[in-house]
Amino acid sequence: MMRRADRTQANRQRMRAAAQTLFTARGYAATSMQAIADEAGMAVQTLYFTFGTKRALLAELLDVAVAGDDEPVPSLDRPQVQALLDDPDPVAQLREQARQAREIYERVAPVLQVIAHAATADPEIHELWEANNAQRVVMMERMVTALVTKTALREGLDATMATDITLALLGPEVYHLLTARRGWDAERWERWTADALVTQLLPPR
């Protein structure tokens, strides 16, 4: 028999899945909490008790999609990120950054599109979008800091410019453009991004 904690977690996952389905199909503003509850097969009171607000539900959906699980471990403290930062080979670090970014975007890209569209009209969702962007900056700064301990940067670059280039190449806008709009598969995006990071950030070899 499923334990109560496991059942609660499974129900939470069902509600998140229902929310993502409807947010993606209808948009954030057009999706009500009642509609999410109906899609999940739950009472709407359960949805409110679990998440409180629709914005909180979207925020958790984003966090879980980025992390790949619902464990409360910051991205920079996750073993795969620590291994990337600790890898002594700068080329290997950059290629692993592209690989991990591809894995994340395969999960999170639909949620980011929901947030990007909703942010133009909803101040609370705009705040969520900006917070996500700020977290991405912190992550890229940390990766560039690790990179410059292993190698000189390409001539003319400093750490700030290297961070800006990394943000551009690994940004959700470029991923969406090339995969959703231009038809690239995620593996092609990963290969191109890894090559671009190496070319743009490291001295010629």
The number of C-alpha atoms within 13 Å of 35 and in the hemisphere containing its C-beta is: 14
State the pLDDT at residue 2.
Answer: 57
Instruction: Give the architecture-level CATH label for domain 1-52.
Output: Orthogonal Bundle (1.10)
Average pLDDT, the chain: 94
Residue 142 predicted with pLDDT over 90: yes
User: Does the pLDDT value for residue 76 go beyond 90?
Assistant: no
Nearest partner of 93 among 167, 171, 148, judged by Cα: 148
pLDDT score of 172? 94
> Cβ atoms within 10 A of the Cβ of 171, count?
15
pLDDT in tens, 99-128: 999 999 999 999 999 999 999 999 999 999
- Provide the whole-model pTM: 0.90
Distance CA 57, CA 43 (A): 15
pLDDT the model gives residue 144: 98
Class of domain 73-201: mainly alpha
pLDDT for the residue 71: 82
User: Could you state, in order of their start, the residue ranges of all structural domains in the chain?
Assistant: 1-52, 73-201
Rounded to the nearest 10 degrees, the angle between the axes of helix 159-169 and helix 186-201 is 160
